[in-house]
Amino acid sequence: MITLYALLSANSQLVFGGEENSNNITDLWVIARKPDDSEFLVLSNTAYNGLDVFSSYDGFIFTYCQAWGLTINDEVVERVKRDIRAKAYPSIPEQLDMIYHNGLDSWKEAIALIKASLPIH
Protein backbone atom coordinates (compact mmCIF):
# COMPACT_ATOMS: atom_id res chain seq x y z
CA MET A 1 0.00 0.00 0.00
CA ILE A 2 1.17 3.53 -0.70
CA THR A 3 2.18 4.98 2.67
CA LEU A 4 3.03 8.50 3.77
CA TYR A 5 6.53 9.02 5.22
CA ALA A 6 8.71 11.91 6.34
CA LEU A 7 12.16 12.27 4.79
CA LEU A 8 14.75 14.46 6.48
CA SER A 9 17.07 16.16 4.00
CA ALA A 10 19.96 14.64 5.95
CA ASN A 11 18.64 11.16 5.04
CA SER A 12 18.19 11.78 1.31
CA GLN A 13 21.52 10.17 0.37
CA LEU A 14 20.63 7.15 2.51
CA VAL A 15 17.39 6.74 0.57
CA PHE A 16 18.47 7.73 -2.94
CA GLY A 17 22.16 6.84 -2.80
CA GLY A 18 25.05 8.96 -3.94
CA GLU A 19 26.45 9.92 -7.32
CA GLU A 20 28.31 6.64 -7.75
CA ASN A 21 25.85 4.34 -5.96
CA SER A 22 22.44 5.65 -6.99
CA ASN A 23 19.48 3.62 -5.72
CA ASN A 24 16.98 2.91 -8.50
CA ILE A 25 13.84 4.07 -6.71
CA THR A 26 10.69 4.15 -8.81
CA ASP A 27 8.00 4.07 -6.14
CA LEU A 28 8.62 7.26 -4.16
CA TRP A 29 6.79 10.54 -4.77
CA VAL A 30 7.58 13.82 -3.01
CA ILE A 31 4.31 15.58 -2.24
CA ALA A 32 5.24 18.31 0.26
CA ARG A 33 8.22 20.12 1.72
CA LYS A 34 9.13 22.43 4.57
CA PRO A 35 9.97 25.98 3.42
CA ASP A 36 13.66 25.50 4.32
CA ASP A 37 13.80 22.11 2.53
CA SER A 38 14.87 20.41 5.75
CA GLU A 39 12.14 17.78 5.49
CA PHE A 40 9.83 16.34 2.86
CA LEU A 41 6.65 14.29 2.88
CA VAL A 42 6.82 11.37 0.49
CA LEU A 43 4.52 8.57 -0.59
CA SER A 44 6.04 5.15 -1.20
CA ASN A 45 5.16 1.48 -1.49
CA THR A 46 8.46 0.63 0.22
CA ALA A 47 9.67 1.56 3.72
CA TYR A 48 13.16 2.52 2.62
CA ASN A 49 15.91 2.89 5.21
CA GLY A 50 16.00 6.61 6.02
CA LEU A 51 12.26 7.23 5.78
CA ASP A 52 10.55 8.12 9.04
CA VAL A 53 7.01 7.50 10.20
CA PHE A 54 4.78 10.42 9.27
CA SER A 55 3.62 12.39 12.31
CA SER A 56 2.14 15.76 11.31
CA TYR A 57 1.35 18.03 8.36
CA ASP A 58 2.47 21.08 10.39
CA GLY A 59 4.86 23.33 8.52
CA PHE A 60 4.66 21.49 5.18
CA ILE A 61 3.78 23.11 1.86
CA PHE A 62 1.91 20.93 -0.66
CA THR A 63 4.05 20.67 -3.81
CA TYR A 64 2.80 17.60 -5.71
CA CYS A 65 0.47 19.60 -7.94
CA GLN A 66 0.56 23.29 -7.23
CA ALA A 67 -2.27 23.87 -9.70
CA TRP A 68 -4.58 22.16 -7.20
CA GLY A 69 -3.83 25.00 -4.77
CA LEU A 70 -4.53 22.89 -1.73
CA THR A 71 -3.34 22.73 1.85
CA ILE A 72 -2.01 19.30 2.66
CA ASN A 73 -4.24 17.05 4.76
CA ASP A 74 -5.54 13.46 4.70
CA GLU A 75 -8.00 14.16 1.86
CA VAL A 76 -5.27 15.67 -0.31
CA VAL A 77 -2.95 12.70 0.33
CA GLU A 78 -5.73 10.32 -0.80
CA ARG A 79 -6.25 12.46 -3.92
CA VAL A 80 -2.52 12.24 -4.70
CA LYS A 81 -2.58 8.45 -4.28
CA ARG A 82 -5.47 8.19 -6.77
CA ASP A 83 -3.63 10.52 -9.17
CA ILE A 84 -0.42 8.46 -8.98
CA ARG A 85 -2.37 5.32 -9.85
CA ALA A 86 -4.29 7.03 -12.67
CA LYS A 87 -1.03 8.21 -14.24
CA ALA A 88 0.32 4.64 -14.14
CA TYR A 89 -2.43 3.34 -16.43
CA PRO A 90 -1.79 3.29 -20.18
CA SER A 91 -3.78 5.82 -22.21
CA ILE A 92 -7.25 4.77 -23.40
CA PRO A 93 -6.03 4.30 -27.02
CA GLU A 94 -3.18 2.10 -25.73
CA GLN A 95 -5.63 0.08 -23.64
CA LEU A 96 -7.94 -0.39 -26.62
CA ASP A 97 -5.01 -1.53 -28.75
CA MET A 98 -4.03 -3.96 -25.99
CA ILE A 99 -7.55 -5.44 -26.01
CA TYR A 100 -7.70 -5.60 -29.81
CA HIS A 101 -4.27 -7.19 -30.28
CA ASN A 102 -4.00 -9.34 -27.13
CA GLY A 103 -7.54 -9.86 -25.90
CA LEU A 104 -9.52 -8.81 -22.88
CA ASP A 105 -7.77 -11.21 -20.50
CA SER A 106 -4.39 -9.67 -21.33
CA TRP A 107 -5.79 -6.19 -20.65
CA LYS A 108 -7.31 -7.32 -17.34
CA GLU A 109 -3.94 -8.77 -16.32
CA ALA A 110 -2.08 -5.54 -17.17
CA ILE A 111 -4.57 -3.41 -15.23
CA ALA A 112 -4.50 -5.81 -12.27
CA LEU A 113 -0.70 -5.47 -12.10
CA ILE A 114 -1.00 -1.70 -11.81
CA LYS A 115 -3.70 -1.99 -9.15
CA ALA A 116 -1.55 -4.47 -7.21
CA SER A 117 1.59 -2.34 -7.46
CA LEU A 118 -0.22 0.83 -6.37
CA PRO A 119 -2.90 -0.20 -3.87
CA ILE A 120 -4.63 2.87 -2.47
CA HIS A 121 -6.95 1.44 0.18
55-102: pLDDT as tens digits:
999 999 999 998 898 899 999 999 999 999 999 999 999 999 999 999
Q: Can you give the pLDDT at residue 119?
A: 87
Strands (E) in 1-121, as ranges, are 3-8, 28-33, 39-44, 52-53, 61-62
> Cα(39)–Cα(32) distance, rounded to whole angstroms?
9
Residues 83-92 have pLDDT tens digits of: 999 999 999 9
Among the residue ranges 16-20, 39-43, 59-63, 66-70, the one predicted with the least confidence is: 16-20
- Residue 32 is predicted with a pLDDT of 97
Cα 45 from Cα 118, distance rounded (Å): 7
